[in-house]
Amino acid sequence: MTKLSVNINKIATLRNARGGDVPNVVEAAKMIESFGAEGITVHPRPDERHIRYADVRDLKPVLNTEFNIEGKPISQFTNLVLEIKPAQVTLVPDAEDAITSNAGWDTVKHEDYLKEVIAGFKEQGIRTSIFVDPVKEMIEGAAKTGTDRIELYTEAFAVDYAKGDPNAAKAYAECAELAHQLGLGVNAGHDLSLDNLKFFKDNVPHLAEVSIGHALISEALYMGLEKTIQEYLKLLK
C-alpha cells in the first residue's frame, strides 16, 4: 500500500507569519499522525522561511511514524540529518532562492557527487531518496548513485492532469516501472492533491510513498485536518 507522508512546511509558514508559536508545529505533527498519516515530511530550507532547524530537532523525539527530511545537501543540512538520523532523507537540487522545489537532479552529471553524499547517509542507516524528473536516463543515473529510492517530481503531472491530458501520468508510470526493475523504491511528490492523486495512484505502479503538503494543508483549511487526511488515505487504499 502507498504510504502518506504529510509535509508540514506550510504549518510552519503560518506559525512564522506572526512570529509566535501558533500553530505549534510539534502539536500539529502529533495530531496529523493521530489522524492516520504514515509519515511526516519537512523541508528545512537554508533561509528557514518555514520549517526551522530547531523544528526538526523538536519533532524527532515526538514522532511515531516515519520522519522524512528533504533538502539540498549543503553542509548545514547534511550535518542536521546526520544528527537527527530520520527514517529517510530526500535530496533535492533546489537553488537557495527557489520559491519552491522546481527540478529534479541531473543524476548523470552529478553521479559522483550524489554517490558520495548518499553513501554518507546510508552508512548511518538513513534511507535515501533523490528527487528526479520522470526521465528514463535520470532513473538509470539514479540507480548508479546507490540511492535506496527515487522521488518522482510530480509538478508536471499536476499541470498536465489539470489540463485534462489523459497521458499525464504516462512518463511517471514508465519511470516507476524502470525504477522498480533497477531495484529502486518509488516515492512521489509535489503538487499532488485530492483532485489528482487517485489518477496518479491508479496509473503509476510500485508507489511506496507520496509526500503531500501544500494542497493538503490548504484543503484542511476548508475540511479540517482529520477529514482531509482521511480522504487522502481512502484514495491510497
Smallest distance from the beta carbon of 68 to ligand DXP, in angstroms?
9
Q: Is 40 in the site for ligand DXP (CB under 6 A)?
A: no
* 213 is annotated as contributing to ligand binding: yes
Could you say which residues in the range 148-207 bind ligand LD2JLWAY, by CB under 6 A? Answer: 151, 189-192
Q: Which is nearer to ligand DXP, 8 or 139 (CB)?
A: 8
Q: Is 92 in the site for ligand DXP (CB under 6 A)?
A: yes
Of the candidates 109, 108, 129, 106, which has an alpha carbon nearest to the alpha carbon of residue 117? 129
Which member of 189, 201, 203, 209 binds ligand DXP (CB under 6 A)?
189
* Catalytic site positions: 43, 70, 190
Q: Which is nearer to ligand LD2JLWAY, 89 or 114 (CB)?
A: 89
Is cis: bond before 23, omega within 30 of 0?
Answer: yes
Of the candidates 140, 231, 125, 232, which has an alpha carbon nearest to the alpha carbon of residue 184? 140
Q: Where are the alpha helices (DSSP H) in the chain?
A: 9-17, 25-34, 53-59, 75-84, 111-123, 136-145, 155-162, 170-181, 197-203, 214-223, 225-236
Which residues lie below 8 Å from residue 20, measured CB to CB, with a gap of 6+?
none
User: For helices 225-236 and 214-223, what crossing angle results, to 10°?
Assistant: 120
> How far from the centroid of its chain's Cα atoms is residue 55's Cα?
17
75, amino acid identity: S
Which member of 3, 33, 40, 43 binds ligand DXP (CB under 6 A)?
43
Q: Is 7 in the site for ligand LD2JLWAY (CB under 6 A)?
A: yes
Residue with cell 483532485: 195
* 100 is annotated as contributing to ligand binding: yes
Which member of 190, 197, 215, 220 binds ligand DXP (CB under 6 A)?
190
Which member of 2, 41, 88, 196 binds ligand LD2JLWAY (CB under 6 A)?
41
Smallest distance from the beta carbon of 100 to ligand DXP, in angstroms?
3
Backbone φ, ψ for residue 68 (5° rounding): -120, 120
Stretch that binds ligand DXP, among 158-166, 177-185, 206-214, 224-232 (CB under 6 A): 206-214
**Binding-site annotation, residues for 1-deoxy-D-xylulose 5-phosphate:** 45, 50, 100
Binding interface with ligand LD2JLWAY (CB under 6 A): 7, 41, 70, 151, 189-192, 211-215
